[in-house]
Amino acid sequence: MKKLLIDLLRIPSVSSDISQLHKIVDYVENYFSGIDCIIEKFEFNNKPSIVVKNFEGKKADIVLNWHLDVVPPSEENQFDPYEENWKIYARGAWDMKSWVAIMMKLMKDLLKAGFSKKKISLILTTDEEVGGFDWVKKLVNLWYTGNIVLIPDAWYLDKIVYAGKGFIHLDLEFYGKSAHASRCWLGDNAIDNMINFYTFIKSYIQDDKKLYYDDNHWGSSVCLDVVEWGKATNMLCDLVKAKIDIRFTEDFTLDSLLDLIDKGLKRFNGKLVNLLTGDLLFSSPDNIEIQKYYKIAKNYIPNVELGKEHWGSDWRFFSAAWSIVLLHRPTFGNGHWKKEWVKVKDMEIIYNIYKDFILL
């Protein structure tokens, strides 16, 4: 598995490098050559993806899913992996080729053993770092889904994630009428319209008690992150451009928040320029499959806990298709930065947990 990881890390499969994305998908295909399995390759917007299965059809009992693309390097020679103090260093060691190596090795071992008790599919895509729209979303829409989906997008080895917040990213414009500040009654300040809109949606969505004073911080949030406005101290602004980030829990639905945003924009003279959304992930911690995984994990990680996370990822596409999604990963460091690393021993631990979970 370590050798496999080293091979994957040496391929500089940055999301924007189409030739290297094809190269790493070809590597995956060759890895399974000569083994009795079904391999399907796809391409959209020049970006390839690959599915390896032990069954005919689309919907699996268990899906192993993650991505082969990486963010650009932060230092020279970051695609030359090396091992030091039981850690492997390279771009993609954490995000996310260590997990890909675990999944590929496990899938190959299951196929070689002729495992057929459950339908297993390995889905590897090449656009997660740029949104996942060219492949995970499309594959799920084609019903390449599963009853259970294992995705390595948690934060700690001792935390299994069963719930994650949904998100809404808004690019907005607010309009007004310019006038001299000494005669402000002759104009309409677009800045006021933006502030009023922001206050309106934040007062409805954000619960500071849950967000700031609860240990789990499991509350919805509204953050104004980018603003472009104004030309002069003594002039009312007639145009404001703003970007707002919303994270929401099961207290809301995506549709209800989009309705609220639409009402606010109409009320405060605003316009939606661009929209990016991701639905929340929420499976019950009492679900029989989640409890099964949790009990197996405790055999290897006695202090492991079930928990929630705050970001979005490709899980949202599977969750929207009613899959049970579990997030769990090895110990790592310096993700998306210099000297990115993963702990080798933890890769073995996750491999064994996955294997026991599938075989049970």
Say what the pLDDT of residue 45 is: 83
Per-residue pLDDT of 257-290, as tens digits, reads 999 999 999 999 999 999 988 888 878 889 999 9
How far is 227 from 222, CA to CA, in rounded Å?
14
Query: Is residue 177 located within the same domain as residue 148?
Result: no
Per-residue pLDDT of 123-155, as tens digits, reads 999 987 666 565 677 888 888 999 999 987 766
The CATH number for 247's domain is 3.30.70.360
| Domain closes at, from 258, 278, 298 | 278
The CATH number for 59's domain is 3.40.630.10
Query: Is residue 72 located within the same domain as residue 153?
Result: yes
Say what the pLDDT of residue 131 is: 61
Query: Is residue 7 located within the same domain as residue 150?
Result: yes
Say what the pLDDT of residue 263 is: 98
List the chain pLDDT tens, one digit each, 360 residues. 999 999 999 999 999 999 999 999 999 999 999 999 999 999 888 889 999 999 999 999 999 998 999 999 988 999 999 999 999 999 999 888 998 999 999 999 999 999 999 999 999 999 876 665 656 778 888 889 999 999 877 667 888 988 889 999 999 999 999 999 999 999 999 999 999 999 999 999 999 999 999 888 999 999 999 999 988 999 999 999 999 999 999 999 999 999 999 999 999 999 999 998 888 887 888 999 999 999 999 999 999 999 888 877 777 788 778 888 888 877 777 777 899 999 999 999 999 999 999 999
| Domain closes at, from 278, 294, 326 | 278
Query: Is residue 160 located within the same domain as residue 172?
Result: no
Query: Is residue 150 located within the same domain as residue 234?
Result: no
Query: Is residue 38 located within the same domain as residue 103?
Result: yes
| Domain closes at, from 226, 245, 278 | 278
Query: Is residue 159 located within the same domain as residue 183?
Result: no
Using alpha carbons only, how large is the chain's radius of gyration in Å? 23
Q: Pull the structure tokens for residue 268.
A: 């405060």
Query: Is residue 59 located within the same domain as residue 118?
Result: yes
> What is the C-alpha end-to-end distance of the chain, expressed in Å?
22
Which residues, 6 or more positions from 258, have their beta carbon under 8 angstroms from its beta carbon? Answer: 168, 277
Query: Is residue 92 located within the same domain as residue 225?
Result: no
How far is 54 from 121, CA to CA, in rounded Å?
7
In our burial notation (b when 16+ CB lie closer than 10 A, e otherwise), range 7-39 reads ebbbbbbbbebbebbbebbebbeebbeeeebee
How far is 140 from 36, CA to CA, in rounded Å?
24
Query: Is residue 214 located within the same domain as residue 116?
Result: no
pTM over 0.85: no
Rounded to whole angstroms, what are the CA distances from 60 to 41, 57, 101, 162, 352? 17, 8, 20, 19, 20
Say what the pLDDT of residue 310 is: 84
Stated length of the chain: 360
Task: Write out the residue range of the structural domain in which residue 307 sits.
Answer: 2-164+280-359
Number of domains in the chain: 2
Per-residue pLDDT of 314-351, as tens digits, reads 777 887 788 888 888 777 777 778 999 999 999 999 99
Cβ-based neighbour number of residue 86 at 10 Å: 10
Query: Is residue 183 located within the same domain as residue 247?
Result: yes
How far is 155 from 185, CA to CA, in rounded Å?
52
Query: Is residue 155 located within the same domain as residue 195?
Result: no
